[in-house]
Amino acid sequence: MKAWVVLAIMSLLTAGLTTPALAAKPANPNCWGVVTSQRATTVGDIGEHASSQDVPRLGLGNVARLFVELGLLIEGHVSDLGTFLAEIDGIAATECP
């Protein structure tokens, strides 16, 4: 999960460059699962559900809403967050069809 925190920080720094590209793409409601699965099998640094963590997490829906409030996402759905993170993570294997 730490990798997603790093990606979230990176997104704050690159928001002006990536938001216009994201706005033109239609939302795919499966993007979060697709991108997470791709990253887990490619990089192997994620895969445990947040409920199995010792430290409580904000939750995907709340993180997506936070990104909307910060102006990083146009929509607030978790799938939009998956698409956005796949675009900025620098991993060719993570993309949402």
* Over residues 36-53, mean pLDDT: 81
Instruction: Return the higher-pLDDT residue of 78 and 49.
Output: 78
pLDDT number for residue 8: 60
- The stretch 30-58 carries a mean pLDDT of 81
pLDDT at residue 53 is higher than 60: yes
- The pTM score is 0.58
Within the chain, residue ranges assigned H as helices are 2-13, 15-23, 31-42, 60-69, 78-88
- Predicted pLDDT at 9: 60
Would you list the domain boundaries of the chain? 2-47+56-88
Given a cut of 50, is residue 29 above it in pLDDT? yes
